[in-house]
Chain A
Amino acid sequence: MTDNVLSDMPAAAQATSSPAAHLKRPLRRKGVVIAHEKSWKRSSIWTLQVGIFVALIGGWELATRLGLIDPFFWSSPSRIYNAFIIVIGEGTLFQDTWFTFKATIIGFLLGSAIGAAIGLSLWWSINAAAVVQPYIVVFNAVPKIALGPLIILIFGIGISSKIALAVAFTAVITALAAYAGVRAVDDDLVKLTLSLGGRRRDVFLKIVVPSAMPWITSSLHINIGLALAGAIAGEFISSQYGLGKIIMYAGSTYDMALIWVGIIILALLAIVLYGAVNWLEHKFTRGQNVKTI
């Protein structure tokens, strides 16, 4: 429109009547070249990652040998390696790792399932959801570790108290994520299902659950760390087995190398679980955008 009006006018009039004529000319008129970062080859990224790892370990070892840092507090890779060999020789390491792993996995699965069930069930009634919501939010805000002593007293010092803590750590996160997913369900998909003669049960099973799935699986990534934290926290408070017990014991005897052994095994556990969750996520969210937190 504006173009037509302007082209009918004499050139001089155009210059003065241009709506932007009174503005100062912008300083840079060359346009902007948009910078793109080229992505590196996978192999180079991998090489770099390994390189950093080797450099860190090497630097650590070197620094302790040169006396730059105190190996009493910081330990060193060679000491950690020796401690590792010793605990393996003692034969209890496998048992402790298995204990922690079991508590973590069971707590993770139970907590995520309970959380998902709670979050999804809030779809059935907006009124029930409104009533329950503050409880969930408060329970989410309470530091679950504070429940530790209570849970140990109720469930005993065996594995069930570790599982219960892992559940307490994980369930709320998944409940909140599932509820967010439920609220984000496309109303038109609900309408479609109803127009086809579907009942609320059909809407729930065929629309609500699948569309909340990416939210639920995204919370699983966080739950790995939380379930481990729950299990370890339980073992810290009171336990006969577990990596948490080893770390606690090592700390009380100033055995820094042994602490590191525990941490490294925990990291390996976390990696295994992370891989498993990624696989699950892929399986359950086909065709949808994965919601990563």
Chain B
Amino acid sequence: MSQSIMTEPALPPTEPSTLRPKLRLDGLTHEFRTGGAPPVKAIEGISLDVAPGAFVSLIGQSGCGKSTLFNIMAGLLQPSAGRVVLDGEDITGRAGLVSYMLQKDLLLPWRTILDNVIFGLEIQGVDRREARAVAEPLMDRYGLGRFKTHYPASLSGGMRQRAALLRTLLCNNDVILLDEPFAALDAQTRFRMQEWLLTLWKDFGRTVLFVTHDVDEAIFLSDEICVLSPRPGRIADRFDVSLPRPRGRNVVTAPEFIRAKERCLDLLFSGGQPADSEAA
């Protein structure tokens, strides 16, 4: 107890919020223990400060613990060690304080798109009619207006993701976690969705943590990139992407983009796993 008081300086309320991180991960470690099998250490000692309004991408090989890390941040999973700190407050193991979009779009099949979009607000206790009034203009503005009364089954993958993303953004949380939101989409839809996401990010002013397998996507979207090592996931490298915004499609040919990409790929594919000889 006394230790946590020492590591967490009580910040005076007058201090401008830009000086302290929006979200701080402090030595997060998680071990899965299932039955008689030996425990699996998914992540180890992950510490990270995220500035308010930043767009941070996490990349790493499959199975390195990215979803585990998000589950912990979202309060769905109690870490073996470490803390999650939001606005200076320890929120480890508490759900509902950051918005989380899981790896699937997860729309409720029995609700119309409009009622899916307001689901988060509804869970937070907002009256249905009020929530609809908030959501409808946003759906019109962000290209979902035509689908309000449709059921999810009749929508394309891109539109379903938009609805799920809008639902995530609509919750009144400052931090949103997106776990490979565009992985299942074709390349063209993906492009459009990335631009759409940046528009929303700008409009809503949220802090975004974004998991992806796609290095180009990470560089195109982010202010900052964290590369995780293979399991157990640790932060292997962290760097800023200072390409000016708004970034056009041709940014992929910019020298800084290429340098960033090389840096990521080197880390991902030389990533110190002797058994993984193909990747080397």
A interface list, Cβ under 8 A from B:
186, 188-189, 191-198, 202, 206-207, 210-211, 213, 285-288
Contact = CB atoms under 8 A, between A and B. Distances in A.
Contact of A195 (B100, B109, B112): B100
A169 B74 CA distance: 46
29 contacts: A186-B106, A188-B102, A188-B104, A188-B106, A189-B108, A192-B106, A194-B76, A194-B95, A195-B75, A195-B76, A195-B96, A195-B99, A195-B100, A196-B124, A197-B95, A197-B96, A198-B123, A202-B123, A206-B108, A206-B119, A206-B122, A206-B123, A207-B108, A286-B151, A287-B109, A287-B110, A287-B152, A287-B153, A288-B110
Contacts of A286: 110, 151
Contact of A287 (B96, B104, B112): B112
Given A192-B102, A194-B95, A287-B153, A210 B110 contact: yes
Interface in B114-139: 119-120, 122-124
B247 interface: no
B109 A196 contact: no
Interface in B84-101: 95-97, 99-100
7 nearest A-B residue pairs (beta carbon): A197-B96, A287-B151, A195-B100, A196-B123, A198-B123, A195-B74, A210-B110
B111 interface: yes
A193 B74 CA distance: 11
Interface of B: 74-76, 95-97, 99-100, 102, 104, 106, 108-112, 119-120, 122-124, 151-153, 171
A213 B110 contact: yes
Contacts of A196: 95-96, 99, 119-120, 123-124, 171
B123 A191 contact: no
Contacts, number: 61
A136 B55 CA distance: 53
B245 to A, nearest CB: 29
Contacts of A193: 123
A96 B15 CA distance: 82
B102 A195 contact: yes
Contact of B108 (A194, A198, A202, A210): A210
Given A188-B102, A191-B76, A193-B123, A198 B96 contact: yes
Contacts of A194: 76, 95-96
A291 to B, nearest CB: 13
Nearest to B154: A287
Given A189-B108, A211-B110, A287-B111, A197 B97 contact: yes
User: Which of B102, B110, B112 has the most CB atoms of chain A within a 10 A radius of its CB?
Assistant: B110
Contacts of B110: 210-211, 213, 285-288
User: Which of A197, A202, A206 has the most CB atoms of chain B within a 10 A radius of its CB?
Assistant: A197
Contacts of B96: 194-198
Contacts of A287: 109-112, 151-153
B177 to A, nearest CB: 9
Given A195-B75, A196-B171, 17 more contacts: A189-B108, A191-B102, A192-B100, A194-B76, A196-B124, A197-B124, A198-B96, A202-B123, A206-B119, A206-B123, A210-B108, A210-B110, A211-B110, A213-B110, A286-B151, A287-B110, A287-B152
Contacts of A202: 123
A288 B106 CA distance: 14
A206 B104 CA distance: 19
A24 to B, nearest CB: 38
A206 B121 CA distance: 13
Contacts of B75: 195
